[in-house]
Structure 1
Amino acid sequence: MKKWKKILLILFIGIIIAIVGGVTYLKSQTYAPTKDAQQVTQQATAESNWLYFPSEDKDKPMIIFYPGALVDPGSYSPWAQQLAKVGYPVYILNMPLDLAVLAPDKGEKVLSDQPKRDYVIGGHSLGGVMASRFAKNHPEQLAGVFFLASYPDEKGSLANQSIPVLSLTGENDHVLNHDAFQKAKKELPKATEYQEIAGGNHAGFGAYGAQKGDGKAEIKDQNEQVAQRLIAWLNEQVAR
Structure 2
Amino acid sequence: MYNQAKKCALVTGADRGLGLSLARDLAKAGWQVYAGRILSEYTLLDDLHKDYLNLIPVWLDVSKPADICLIRDRIAQDVGYLDLLVSNAALMGGNGAAELGGVNPIDFDAMELSFRINSLAAPLLVDILFPLLEKGNMKRLFFTSSEISSIKLMHRTGDMRYAMTKAALNLGVRMLHNSLRPLGYTFRLYQPGWMKRVQPDGTRSESGNVDPDDSARVALSLILEERPDEDRLILIDRFGHELAF
* TM-score (normalised: structure 2): 0.46
Work out which structure has the larger RCO, using CA pairs closer than 8 Å and 6 or more positions apart in sequence. 2
Larger Rg: 1
